[in-house]
Structure 1
Amino acid sequence: MKFRSVVKLGIVGAASAFLLAACGNSSKESTSKYINWQENSQLPTLDASKATDTVSFGALNNSNEGLLINASDNKVKPGVAESYTVSKDGKTYTFNLRHSKWSDGKPVTAKDFVYGWQRTVNPKTASQYSYLFSDVKNADAIGKGQTPVSSLGIKADGDYKVVVTLDKPQNYFKYLVTMAPFLPQSEAAVKKFGSAYGTTSKDMVYNGPFKIEGWTGTNNSWTLVKNKEYYNASKIKVAGVKFNAQNDSNTSVNQYETGSLDEAVLSGAQQVGKYKGTSEYHALKQASTFYIELNEKKDPMFKNANIRKAISLAIDRKEYTGNTLGDGSIPAVGYVSPGMSERNGKDFTADAGTTTGVSYNLSEAKKLWAKGLKEVGKKSVSLSILSDDTDNGKKTTEFLQTALEKLPGLKISTQNIPFKLRLAHSQSGQFDMVVSAWGADFPDPISFLELFTTDGSYNNGKWSNAKYDELIKNADGKDANDAAKRWDDMVKAEQVLMSDQGIIPLYHSVQSRVIKSRVSGVQFFPTGSPYDFRDAKITNK
């Protein structure tokens, strides 16, 4: 996801947004002026420099606004920037800002963007998403402590003009500036709230269509409330959105059917089967992949390729997605999600895909397992699998426990913890095996592939492969402006990752939701922020 280069690719399917308008409903509907929405997990942070997850991105996308915002059909539209121009050499972007305000009534100016970007790339902030700025002039040097943050290639030309200088052309830079790490930040607010900034809804200011209220930093509910200071407030049609973090799908579906929720995420074949084919049901394809990371730093045995391959071969992904998940998700065809990008009419996964790394063959798994154990000098092993405490998380660890214990001498224990804590454990290396997920921020294979370079900030398992690193470096460097060569670099990188089993892909997510007929206009995106309520409407009968 460290987008560094110009590339001309055919972008398809997953880059489109879904504008939902349900009609007809057999279950009770609320008459509230608020939309009542389910989230599967707690909200981790409102600090745009530190956000790493879809829950935080969803909250930030609706309560704040960047230079540009996502639109349907793989496009962007004006945000705080009314217009922008790009220099002929593709290295300079000039954004012309509208006059807008923060929720405290103070003006949003070019300096807020300069400060926000500088804060994110500042090594002291320790932002995991700072690498998205890599092509902004001096960003990498700042990250290494070689030059001051003030040298970052962004400047304010007066109060309402932002000028950004890149090291090299990047024709999809417009998509990056829609993302949370590129949001403006009020220096006065950051200094006022200090270490509490973004940790509760009160310790924050907002410049988007909604403000967030009622979030203490640890509770399971928060509310998007219409922001009266928003420049386009007159066009926001709903009073707000009430969020309830509920990881038990049976509870959330019951709440949906009794009318206390307007939306719920379905889990399992029974729930999906009940609503599939009705106007309330929506299957949303996502540019995401769920996979297992193996902690090579904590457990050196995972450096053995035969061990890694044996674990992957022991997993029947068709049985897992069809019988355990049952929500429409598809068995992994590789790491990069299908239907996201294509070249010359051919999907990336078709070019890169083989059965290597995603096949099921228990007899072969047992042979490689025995060989691997002998090579690492072990006769038996006890390992733990970590995942979220959601329904799917629990189903997943139970399935994997049963599947992997078919390997002789392997004992598996399971651990399911809250999403926020699981993220922390993943990032700090407190796991043997962890079920992780990645959703693309931009419809390009590099959004997935750059995670697993040796120094990748999300490479929690610490897998390392010199050939892989070289291919990603070429795609981002010498081949950046040659679409064919860059594509070939990424295809080969995917093949290296799979043939060496650097990670173990499980499935590509399809999220099944039900939404009440009274709610329309909610926009969903399979890449980047998950949803947008700017155009949402409520029709109470």
Structure 2
Amino acid sequence: MKRKFAWLLSLGLVLSMFLAACSGGGEDTKEEPADEKDQAAEDTGEKVLNFVNGDTIPSMDPSMATDEYGFQFLGATMEGLYRLDENAQPVEGIALSHETSEDGLTWTFKLREDAKWENGDPVTANDFVYAWQRAVNPDTGSEYGPYMMAGVIKNAEAVSKGEAELSELGVKADGDYSLVVELEHPTPYFHSLTTFGTFLPLNQKFVEAQGDKFATSTETLLSNGPFKLANWESTSSEWELVKNDTYWDADTVQLDKMTYVVVKDPQVGVDLYEEGTVDRTGLSSDLVDQYATHDDYAVTPETSVFYFKMNQTRNEALANVNIRAALSRAFNKEDLVNEILNNGSIVANGLIPKDFVTLPGTEDDFREVSGDLVTYDVEKAKEFWAKGLEELGTDKVEVEFLGGDTETSKVMNEYLKNQLETNLPGLTVTLKQVPFEQRLDLDTNQDYDLQFAGWGPDYLDPYTFLTLWITDGGNNKMGYSNAKYDELLKESATTLAQDNEARYQNFLEAEKILFEDAAIAPVYQSAMAQLISPKVEGVFVNPFGATYEYKWASVGSAE
């Protein structure tokens, strides 16, 4: 996901570099002392958990959200057709069941009749029709709507380009409680896709009444999920999730409230944890060394991959494949994950993460079958570098490196700058370290040379990663184009859509092309090193979509 993300995150580094959010700081928070908070909860009998967040929430509009934080809080406050359970399998949400036509093109969803918006309005099939049309309406300006729906929902691409009417989008209401969806092609992962934030319903009357203010504050949001966002505005550094009593399955929801405070400095997060103010916090590498033997220490592997994006349109040097190949091999990833991250993250030598998917009909992990496609190799890096410089007719190259601005990010940015400049003679790297939301804007406008970015999967299929680099794709934003790559991805979504084995062979070939072209430079696959209080129970960590699922969470004993 651009998150997108999706695209996760432990505090420090991951929080700042994933296409997910970052700003503010814990030092200025106005948290009441831990003993007062605990006593207040005990006095009222409330079940409360307290968390940190890496930054503000960029957007709570399902049509406009593109980042981890937006999708995380949308997932907590809203509900689509299905949501993910403990095993990351879609379970009943607003949909009770569905039927699929023999050709795989028509999905008919039976909706529950007891789901309500928090204002008392029923959640109906029309709410999905309106939301999905809004997401691909070119007037909305959604980035994720066309990205998620084009090539999946019938006519979504044509609608998003203004070549077809909204009414031609393949989603219709057959009465209030039956939703009929027509697909462009059979889509093996569509069931899991319906759990994703872009496919959430919207109450048309409410959205239109709010106008431009929709989803900018608590007062301009409308929940139909387990929780409601409270005390929030778009610039808030503190907010709450409170139980939504109008949710159809409110009896299952055990938490009364979750509090959040923006913290960018891992040490501040640990200080808050130690004093009992928060119940979970991420650890930077130095803090891992300090807390690895702590009873509350936990490492959670993730399926997010981080890499350099190399913009081929802004910097002439980066349009040269040999220069990109050199950059891809010129930094020591092993030292980075062991010394700087030190949180369980592993080296990435390809795009599709380890332990994400297996080849159909086998237990063979995709990553192992595809192998290491680009590794740290200084000698090869220098060979590519020399060849690239000769082709450019120069002995010097300057690049601007766009990265995050958290403390851990800055350490990593400096490390990568030093590695690249040391191993590639004549290279000058200028760091540009900015808050997350600003980095999103720079990426969208393709206003960068070299960017540290990451992706967490939106659904359980390699396509969620590989589709990023289709020519002129909504997340490409770096000018990469390869006709063969595009064709392989197109085939996997069209003529091969019902032949999963053939699809995966296309995926294997496409990934190899991506690295033959040195389009991106993989760095690592993330993990979260955290301190988690024993009080935190029933929180699921998802392999795609929103990082956390809180519907089934509860407060246990801290003893």
TM-score normalised according to structure 1 size? 0.91
> Does the CA contact (< 8 Å) of 2:60 and 2:73 recur in 1?
yes
Does residue 1:84 correspond to 2:98, yes or no? yes
Distance in 2, Cα, partners of 1:56 & 1:505:
25
1:101 is aligned with what amino acid?
A: K
Alignment of 1:227-246 (within 5 A): 227-246=244-263
Say whether the 8 Å CA contact 2:400–2:450 is kept in structure 1: yes
Looking at structure 2, the residues matched to 168 and 459 of structure 1 have their Cα atoms a distance apart, in angstroms, of 23
Q: How does 1:60-71 map to 2 (within 5 A)?
A: 60-71=74-85
Q: Which amino acid in 1 is paired with 2:216?
A: T
2:134 to 119, 128, 143: 119
Match of 2:310 in 1: 294
Cα separation, 1, equivalents of 2:239 and 2:527: 26
| Equivalent residue number for residue 308 of structure 1 | 324
| Partner amino acid, structure 2, of 1:34 | V
Deviations 1:458-508 (A, max 9, x none): 112111112211211121222222222211110011111112110011000
Return the offset for 1:453.
Answer: 1.0
Quote the residue 1:351 is aligned against: 369
Alignment of 1:109-508 (within 5 A): 109-130=124-145, 131-133=147-149, 134-268=151-285, 270-343=286-359, 344-354=362-372, 356-357=373-374, 359-406=375-422, 407-508=424-525
Structure 1, 325-334 or 32-41: larger mean CA deviation: 32-41
User: How far is the alpha carbon of 1:128 from its aligned partner?
Assistant: 1.9
Cα displacement string for residues 112-152 of structure 1 (whole angstroms, at most 9, x for unaligned residues): 11100110011222222223223212112212222101111
Deviation, structure 1 residue 388: 1.6
CA distance in 1, matches of 2:411, 2:477: 23
**Range 500-509 or range 131-140, more displaced:** 131-140
CA contact (8 A) 1:294 1:433 kept: yes
Instruction: Give 1:319 shift.
Output: 1.0
Residues of 2 paired with 1:327 and 1:311: CA distance?
25
Tell me how far apart the structure 2 counterparts of residues 289 and 197 of structure 1 sit (CA, whole Å): 32
Contact 2:284 2:408 (8 Å CA) reproduced? yes
Counterpart residue type for residue 102 of structure 1: W
**Distance in 1, Cα, partners of 2:327 & 2:547:** 32
Q: Counterparts of 1:45 and 1:307 in 2: how far apart (Å)? A: 36
SS in 2 for 1:481: coil
What secondary structure, in the 3-state scheme, does the structure 1 residue paired with 2:260 have?
strand
Contact 2:188 / 2:497 at 8 angstroms: preserved in 1? no
Shift of 1:279: 4.2
Q: Equivalences for 1:32-51 in 2 at 5 Å?
A: 32=41, 33-51=47-65
Query: Distance in 1 between the 2:365 and 2:551 partners?
Result: 32
Whether 1:106 and 2:124 are equivalent positions in the alignment is no
1:519, 1:273 → 2: CA distance?
23
2:16 is aligned to: none
Quickly say closer, same or farther: Cα 1:301–1:382, change in 2 above 3 A.
Answer: closer
Equivalents in 1 of 2:557, 2:338: separation in Å?
37
Give the secondary-structure state (helix, strand or coil) at the position aligned to 1:403.
Answer: helix
TM superposition shift of 1:34: 2.1
Question: How far apart, in 1, do the equivalents of 2:404 and 2:231 lie?
Answer: 24
Distance 1:342 1:208 in 2: 32
| Corresponding letter in the other structure for 1:314 | A
Which sits farther off after the overlay, 178-187 or 271-280? Answer: 271-280
Secondary structure at the counterpart of residue 418 of structure 2: helix
**Contact between 2:348 and 2:522, CA under 8 Å: does it hold in 1?**
yes
Report the 3-state secondary structure (helix = DSSP H, G, I; strand = E; otherwise coil) of the residue aligned with 1:35: strand
Amino acid at match of 2:339: N
Distance 2:54 2:394 in 1: 39
3-state SS in 2 of match to 1:224: strand
1:47 maps to amino acid: D
CA distance in 1, matches of 2:202, 2:439: 28
- SS state of the match for residue 508, structure 1? strand
Letter in 2 for 1:260: T
CA contact (8 A) 2:284 2:342 kept: yes
Q: Return the TM-score normalized by structure 2.
A: 0.89
**Greater Cα shift, 301-310 or 342-351:** 342-351
Q: Which has the larger strand fraction?
A: 1
The structural deviation recorded for 1:77 is: 0.6
Return the offset for 1:277.
4.8
SS in 1 for 2:465: helix
Secondary structure in 2 aligned to 1:93?
strand
CA-to-partner distance for each residue in 1:81-125, whole Å, 9 max, x for gaps? 122222233222222222221112222111111100110011222
Unaligned runs of 5+ in 1: 3-27
Alpha-carbon distance in 2 for matches of 1:201, 1:408: 53
Change (3 A) 1:162 1:279: farther
Give aligned-pair identity as a percent. Answer: 37
CA distance in 2, matches of 1:395, 1:527: 28
**1:538 aligns to 2:552 (yes or no):** no
Residue 540 of structure 1: how far off its partner (Å): 5.2
Report if the CA contact (8 A) 1:91-1:167 is conserved: yes
State the alpha-carbon separation in 2 of the partners of residues 465 and 151 from structure 1.
31
Report deviation, 1:204. 1.3
Say yes or no: does 1:520 pair with 2:537. Answer: yes
Root-mean-square deviation over aligned CA pairs:
1.8
Superimposed CA distance per residue, residues 50-76 of structure 1 (whole angstroms, 9 cap, x where no aligned partner): 111111111000000001111122411
CA offsets per residue over residues 235-291 of structure 1, 9 Å max, x none?
A: 2111111111211101001111111111101111x3223333544222121111100
- 3-state SS in 1 of match to 2:545: coil
